[in-house]
Amino acid sequence: MKPAAAPRQRRLRQDSIRNQQELVVAVGELLREDPDSATMPAVAERAGLSLATAYRYFPTLDELHRKFMLSVIDELHESTKTLQSTGMDLFRGTMAQWLQVVAEYGPAMVLVRSREGFLTRLKAGEPHARALERVWGPPIRQLLEEANIDGNQLPYALSLFNAMFNSREIMDFRAVENIPDEQLVERCSRLYWSAIQGLRVSLD
């Protein structure tokens, strides 16, 4: 009789995954529509779940926000990992995808902030920092190679990118410059190429 329990266990796991996904989708929608309304009760209602169920999966709203942010970065990774270009062309292609993500999720993304700096989080293996490394590591590593900069400077290059082109800064670029994304990609790419030249100086 024991083997009969397996299907129910699988259903429970599937229900758990589906419920968590519904909560992540719901918080993303509310953050985009009206950030002030994105309370846990409102998220649970949007997801069609009880408040108790929502808190069972995400004990705090901050944890749910971070799960949403991680899902956005994972979505970006899926859209960029198949890019066939290399070097600066790969950087431009990834930047173009990043601009699309910020256009859709930016107002929600800027609400999810960490108290620790990027390098500290990267070194500690924090999920969001590592997710960004998966996205930006390949193009930035290739840029460092093209610039004849030691590859061990990658963490600093990633931190520099995060400071220059996080969602808040991209939204600010758009608000002030009001230029097409193609031009913004080119401008950001040139700025970043110039910025990483400073990494030639040893940081040891």
At residue 160, the pLDDT reads: 96
Q: How far apart are CA 31 and CA 105, in angstroms?
A: 9
Q: Which residue has the higher pLDDT, 65 or 13?
A: 65
At residue 12, the pLDDT reads: 56
CB 68 within 8 A of CB 27: yes
Q: How far apart are CA 62 and CA 70, in angstroms?
A: 12
CB 92 within 8 A of CB 86: no
Q: How far apart are CA 98 and CA 21, in angstroms?
A: 22
> Taking phi first (over 0 means left), then psi (-120 to 50 degrees means alpha), and beta for anything else, what does residue 34 get?
beta
Specify the range with the lowest mean pLDDT, choosing from 11-15, 50-54, 114-118, 142-146: 11-15
Q: What is the pLDDT of residues 19-45, one digit of tens each?
A: 999 999 999 889 888 878 889 999 999
Q: What is the pLDDT of residues 76-89, one digit of tens each?
A: 999 898 999 999 99
| CA dist list (Å): 160 to 104, 113, 181 | 23, 17, 21
At residue 115, the pLDDT reads: 79
pLDDT tier for residue 203 given thresholds of 50, 70 and 90: very low
Q: Which residue has the higher pLDDT, 13 or 194?
A: 194
Print burial letters for 123-151: b (CB count within 10 Å at least 16), e (below 16): eeebebbebbbebbebbbbbbbeeeebee
Rounded mean pLDDT of the chain? 88
Instruction: Report residue 94: phi and psi, to 5°.
Output: -70, -40
- Whole-model pTM over 0.85: no
Q: What is the pLDDT of residues 121-130, one digit of tens each?
A: 999 999 989 9
Q: Which residue has the higher pLDDT, 6 or 164?
A: 164
Span 161-177, mean pLDDT? 91
> With pLDDT > 90 as the criterion, what percentage of the chain qualifies?
63
At residue 200, the pLDDT reads: 81
Q: Which residue has the higher pLDDT, 37 or 94?
A: 94
Span 128-143, mean pLDDT? 95
